[in-house]
Every structure is written in C-alpha cells, then in structure tokens.
C-alpha cells in the first residue's frame, strides 16, 4: 500500500539514494576522524570517502548534527552501555572493548516515565522524497513480526505505518506474508522461525521484494529452544552477512529483542541483546543500526513471549524513533505509548473450570498508578459482589497483573 504525502519542495533536487538507479548527487556533512571540523562535500556515491564519518542525526547529548541537504542521514550514536558479563569462548567478541568505543547506530529505548529518548533532538524537519518515490520496508522476523498476541495479527506494523504516514513519508510494507487489518498487510514474519531458518529463505525474499529498509527482530525462538547467547549471536552475524550481500544499499535496523516472561529465557535474551551493539559496530556499516526493543516485557506481553497490543505500540514507537533519525523525520508523530498512563490490555490467563485447566484472554483497562513507596505500577480496577449482613454489596479494589507465568 502506498501512502501519500505532499510533494517535496521543488528547490531541493534530492532522492532517497537507496539504489544506483535512484541516486543523485548530494552533499554530506562530514568530519575528519579526531577533529571537530565539518565541511560539506559533493558525492555521486553512496557515502563519503573512506576515513570520514558521516554526521547524521547523532543520538548523543553532546553532539547533534544533520546532513547538509535532505539526503537521508545516517543515525549514529556514541554511547557507553553496560554489558552483561559472560564467558563466551575465545572466538567470541571482546565486548568490553566494543562498549568502551563508539557504537554506531545504537538507538536507545524511550525512558519509561518521561517518554524521552536519550540524545533526541526535538523538531527535526521531515525528510524529502523525490516525486513518486516510495520507501519499501520489509518487517523480517518470527511470530512477533507476524503479530501473534493480537486478534488482527497487525503486530507493530499498523501503528508504525500510522507514525510514518503521519510524518509525511510515502511507504509500502513488502513481503510474502499478509496479516493484519489495515490495507498494507505485507510482511516477512514467520511463526516459530529461528534465525537460521530465516536465513534459509531470506535471499529469495530480498531478491523478490527489493526492500529499501529491513526491520529485523530475530532470536526469540533460538532463546526458547535453549541456545546460549554466543550461538545465537553467531547465527545473527551470518544472517546479517546474507542481508547485506543481497541488499548492499538497504538500511538495516537490528532489534535487541523483547524479553520473555520466563526468567531463564529473559536472562539469555539480555546477554544476547548486550552483545548485539558490538557486533553491529564491528561491521562498520553506516546503514546498519541497533534498535532497543527490550523494554517490551512483563505486562506488555499477551502471553509468555508475544506482545499485547500495547506492547506492539511500544515496538512501533521504537522503530519509528530509529527511522526518524535516519531519514530524518519529525521526532513526534502520533501518540507516544511511553507517556500513556491508561490503556487497554488483553492478557492471557490460565483458569480452572469444573476441574479442567483452560486458557482465556481477559481484556481490561489498566492505569499507571502511584504507589506508597514512590513507584508506579500498572493496575486494574476490579469489582466483586460480597454479602454483608445478608445484603449484597459491590466492592471495588485495585490489583496488579498477578502471576504473569500463569498462562
């Protein structure tokens, strides 16, 4: 589905620069390594000369710059991030060294209370598209990308399309699968697929649909199968090689995956997530970025491993923030779920009916409420009829989600 927007200003002849046939001369803001000086250079190629760093919408509180024209910027963030300690063998990456160095493309999740994204610049101008050009976006992954956990199987796609079209971007989801309730339902989310299973078919998908942008959320099924973080990371590395070989000019956004409610799986996922920024940084790929989706967990999930609608809204927001700093687009486009204090959630539950265990989904309004200890917790208002002095009375009380493993 193609989503429209007003034409780009005619006095700026730019294109997205996503392929050789669609590239025009553009100006880049560049820096010499180790120097603060910037200069504008012209180039007919996809990036500046080796040894220079593109200054795009850098996600850092200390440094923030944008391309000299509407050419899509390269999101780059300098960060220091704690890495979960793990002995992963001599063949593993030196993660401590990688974290001490700049990590290109790391996109942090919004703050859970304020909704602010570290290092974000407010009021970024919309990116320009050449007349008639549409950004082809491939959501790639497993059942989370497919949308399991919501009745319509819209995943994060419906909300992400709302954010992007609201920002004035002409876009089209592409892929061999179709799910969801919106008009643009294409994707490449395959239920149960591990990273290596995606790799078996990804070359054909990329060749068939030629995406300009790839949103990759993969590794959850590897974690569920009991694989260790080092093994999963090695498989991700192979998959990224395949993606880059098939689509050398595409923008690739690699997710730090959402966290399962199962403690052992969440621990493995945290180690895996902590290793991803170093893997991406080592590749020195100016069109590959890390997007932190790990804040989606707990009550954000419908069951043990799949988001509920609110969790998918958070994922959409995180993807959008990464895309907004790359092309660039306005930082704000549509509602920010991290600022919401009331929402509808549908959570799976395990109940016993007439001695038989059954599964059901309970949909209720949840409110983020202040607690006596100063914390804030999601709670729902319940009502129960009790008998007092022989008379029925309705009692109201606030409760939390209870045992989230009881699904």
Q: What is the pLDDT of residues 286-324, one digit of tens each?
A: 999 999 999 998 888 888 898 998 999 999 999 999 999
User: Based on the domain organization, do 287 and 359 belong to the same domain?
Assistant: no
Mean pLDDT of 261-270: 94
More confident: 379 or 11: 379
Mean pLDDT of all residues belonging to the chain: 73
Domain interval for residue 364: 342-399
In a domain, residue 43? The reply is no
364/70 Cα distance (integer angstroms): 44
Return the structure tokens found at 314.
Answer: 């958070």
- Tell me if 382 sits within 8 A of 362, measured CB to CB: no
User: Based on the domain organization, do 361 and 334 belong to the same domain?
Assistant: no
In a domain, residue 297? The reply is yes
Mean pLDDT of 167-188: 90
In a domain, residue 388? The reply is yes
Which of 310, 339, 368 is a domain's end point?
A: 339
145/157 Cα distance (integer angstroms): 8
162/335 Cα distance (integer angstroms): 10
User: Based on the domain organization, do 303 and 367 belong to the same domain?
Assistant: no
User: Based on the domain organization, do 124 and 253 belong to the same domain?
Assistant: yes
In a domain, residue 119? The reply is yes
Which of 297, 318, 339 is a domain's end point?
A: 339
- Tell me if 291 sits within 8 A of 328, measured CB to CB: no
In a domain, residue 263? The reply is yes
* Confidence class for position 129, pLDDT limits 50, 70, 90: low
Q: State the total domains in the chain.
A: 2
211/173 Cα distance (integer angstroms): 9
The answer on pLDDT for 251 being more than 60 is yes
User: Based on the domain organization, do 165 and 264 belong to the same domain?
Assistant: yes
* Confidence class for position 9, pLDDT limits 50, 70, 90: very low
User: Based on the domain organization, do 76 and 196 belong to the same domain?
Assistant: yes
Predicted pLDDT at 141: 95
The answer on pLDDT for 1 being more than 70 is no
| pLDDT-above-70 percentage for the chain | 67
Predicted pLDDT at 136: 96
In a domain, residue 49? The reply is no
* Confidence class for position 216, pLDDT limits 50, 70, 90: very high
User: Based on the domain organization, do 271 and 329 belong to the same domain?
Assistant: yes
Mean pLDDT of 267-275: 97
Mean pLDDT of 253-279: 96
User: Based on the domain organization, do 228 and 360 belong to the same domain?
Assistant: no
Predicted pLDDT at 23: 32
82/85 Cα distance (integer angstroms): 9
- Tell me if 105 sits within 8 A of 87, measured CB to CB: no
User: Based on the domain organization, do 235 and 375 belong to the same domain?
Assistant: no
- Tell me if 136 sits within 8 A of 184, measured CB to CB: no
Unique residue bearing structure tokens 């589905």: 1
In a domain, residue 111? The reply is yes
Unique residue bearing structure tokens 């999740």: 109
Mean pLDDT of 110-118: 40
138-158, pLDDT tens digit by residue? 999 999 999 888 878 788 999
In a domain, residue 42? The reply is no
Burial of 66 by CB count in 10 Å (0-12 exposed, 13-18 middle, 19+ buried)? middle
22-79, pLDDT tens digit by residue? 333 232 333 333 333 333 333 333 333 333 222 232 232 222 232 332 323 333 332 3
User: Based on the domain organization, do 366 and 293 belong to the same domain?
Assistant: no
* Confidence class for position 106, pLDDT limits 50, 70, 90: low
User: Based on the domain organization, do 229 and 363 belong to the same domain?
Assistant: no
* Confidence class for position 406, pLDDT limits 50, 70, 90: confident
251: domain CATH number? 3.40.50.1110
Which of 339, 361, 383 is a domain's end point?
A: 339
């Amino acid at each position: 589905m193609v989503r429209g927007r007003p034409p780009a200003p005619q006095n700026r002849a730019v294109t997205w620069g996503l392929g050789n046939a669609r590239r025009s001369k553009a100006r880049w803001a560049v820096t010499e390594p180790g120097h603060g000086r910037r200069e504008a250079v012209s180039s007919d190629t996809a990036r500046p000369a080796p040894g220079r760093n593109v200054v795009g919408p850098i996600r850092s509180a200390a440094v923030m710059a944008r391309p000299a024209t509407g050419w899509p910027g390269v999101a780059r963030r300098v960060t220091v991030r704690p890495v979960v300690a793990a002995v992963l063998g001599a063949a593993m990456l030196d993660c401590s060294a990688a974290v001490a160095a700049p990590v290109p493309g790391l996109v942090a999740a919004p703050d859970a209370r304020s909704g602010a994204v570290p290092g974000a610049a407010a009021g970024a101008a919309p990116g320009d598209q050449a007349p008639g050009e549409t950004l082809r976006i491939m959501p790639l992954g497993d059942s989370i990308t497919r949308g399991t956990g919501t009745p319509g199987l819209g995943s994060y796609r419906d909300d992400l399309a709302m954010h992007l079209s609201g920002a004035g971007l002409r876009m089209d989801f592409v892929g061999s699968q179709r799910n969801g309730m919106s008009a643009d339902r294409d994707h490449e989310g395959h239920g149960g697929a591990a990273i290596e299973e995606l790799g078996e078919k990804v070359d054909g998908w990329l060749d068939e649909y030629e995406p300009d942008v790839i949103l990759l959320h993969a590794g959850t099924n590897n974690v569920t199968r009991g694989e260790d973080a080092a093994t999963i990371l090695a498989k991700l590395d192979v998959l990224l090689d395949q993606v880059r070989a098939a689509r050398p000019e595409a923008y690739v956004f690699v997710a730090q995956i959402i966290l399962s409610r199962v403690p052992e799986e969440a621990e493995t996922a945290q180690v895996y997530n902590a290793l991803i920024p170093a893997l991406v940084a080592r590749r020195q790929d100016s069109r590959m970025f890390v997007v932190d989706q790990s804040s989606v967990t707990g009550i954000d999930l419908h069951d043990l491993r799949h988001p509920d609608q609110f969790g998918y809204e958070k994922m959409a927001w995180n993807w959008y923030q990464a895309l907004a700093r790359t092309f660039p687009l306005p930082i704000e486009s549509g509602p920010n779920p991290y600022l919401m204090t009331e929402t509808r959630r549908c959570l799976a539950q395990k109940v016993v009916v007439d001695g038989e265990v059954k599964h059901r989904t309970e949909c209720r309004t949840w409110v983020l409420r202040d607690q006596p200890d100063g914390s804030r917790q999601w709670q729902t208002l319940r009502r129960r009829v009790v008998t007092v002095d022989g008379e029925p009375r309705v009692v109201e009380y606030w409760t939390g989600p209870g045992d989230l493993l009881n699904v």
